[in-house]
Amino acid sequence: MKTNLQDEVKYYLEIGDDFIMMNDLIGKDLKMTYLNQITCFCGDLVSEVFRMNFCRKCFFEKPEAGDAILRPELSKAHLGEEDRDLEWEKKYQLQPHLVYLANSAGLKVGVTRIGQRPTRWIDQGAREAIVLAETENRFEAGQIEVALKAHMSDKTPWQRMVKGEDVEIDLLTEKKQAVQYVPDEYAKFISENDEVTHIEYPVTEYPTKAKSVNLEKNGSVEGKLVGIRGQYLLFSSGAVMNVRSHEGRHVLLEF
């Protein structure tokens, strides 16, 4: 889903060349049925994908599925070394990146390209986020993240997040403490921007129990939509569906 941060996050579900304003469906009954087809990143229609919503060929060949996508510390473009496609990797990796702290039902550290702020935070369901460092490339950000992962998580506890089990965290205090863990050679990238970004999600109620729905296994999901947080659709029944993990699937949406 595409997002836009206003007073609360606005969600748009792309369907071909059109889109649906998902916020307008909250409080309504809807049904999403899987049509047993997937369009891979390469544009091919496939019956199943391998990992990261890529078919097997794309996963092992496309730079968009390279190691540095999930592990920034493995970036090599700054050395002029190719992983899969050096020209693409230079464009992606050799641009400013942020290392941030976020409150996503718990404290976490993460890395994103500077142009993905605040989209990355929204996708993770963060209530708030603060920039720790602004680096010149992906590798530098990855090295800082690795150092901080020894002291805090880099994962979002999605079960707690979709149930609204939030905790109060003083991100400015956490940033001041995290600075000591940044390796000396990267201390010059520590950001002086101490602004905390606050994010509100369109949720009327949180489920007390959350059951993740996989359309390929369950076939469909239906019920009253009570909210959206991160990339999750929240239903009154307790069913939650990660839209991002279903990217490329062909579905019939009824409401």
Element (H, E) at 64: none
Close Cβ partners of 130 (under 8 Å, ≥ 6 residues apart): 100, 101, 102, 171, 172, 174, 175, 194, 195, 196, 197
CA pair distance 60, 66, nearest whole angstrom? 8
Instruction: Please give the pLDDT value at position 246.
Output: 93
Instruction: Please give the pLDDT value at position 15.
Output: 76
Q: Which of 5-9, 145-149, 183-187, 226-230 has the lowest mean pLDDT?
A: 5-9
Closest CA to 198 of 17, 1, 6, 53: 6
103 Cα distance to chain centroid: 13
The pTM (predicted TM-score) of the whole model is: 0.91
Q: Mean pLDDT, to the nearest integer, of 218-239?
A: 95
How confident is the model over 22-72, as pLDDT tens digits?
999 999 999 999 999 999 988 899 888 988 889 999 999 999 999 999 999
Instruction: Identify which has the larger pLDDT, 42 or 132.
Output: 132
Close Cβ partners of 150 (under 8 Å, ≥ 6 residues apart): 181
- DSSP letter string over 17-59? TEEEEGGGGTTSEEEEEEEEEEE-TTS-EES---BTTB-HHHH
Closest CA to 230 of 143, 123, 85, 150: 123
Contact indicator for 241, 213 with CB cutoff of 8 Å: yes
Contact indicator for 29, 41 with CB cutoff of 8 Å: no
